[in-house]
Homo-oligomer: A and B are copies of this chain.
Amino acid sequence: MKACKKNGQYLMIQMPEEIDHHQTVQIRQAADESILEDEVRDVIFDFGQTRMMDSSGIEIIMGRYRMISAFGGQVYIMNADTRIKKILFSAGIQKIAEFIN
């Protein structure tokens, strides 16, 4: 998938402008393949382009966290704007993911 870039042990996932269930189904498939096959350790979600997100955005982060945390992996969240941050915080994502910039 175009939206995933692997850099060494990191999987970088470029989140779309609008995150809903339909979008996350695709991202999830691609991400899980990458995590399993390439033995990725950490996952970075880049929300730089994202303007709208429903709870499927929470689900995709929590799901990837469950997969990789068992093996010592860490989830990072990048470039989330104030609105997206507020949504992520209201679901307690700061407890499982680290916000970078």
Contacts and interface: CB of A to CB of B under 8 A. Distances in A.
As for how many copies of this chain the complex holds, the number is 2
Interface in A77-94: none
A16 B16 CA distance: 10
Interface of A: 16-18
4 contacts: A16-B17, A17-B17, A17-B18, A18-B18
A75 to B, nearest CB: 24
A16 B18 CA distance: 10
A18 B18 CA distance: 9
Contacts of A17: 16-18
A18 B19 CA distance: 12
Nearest to A17: B17
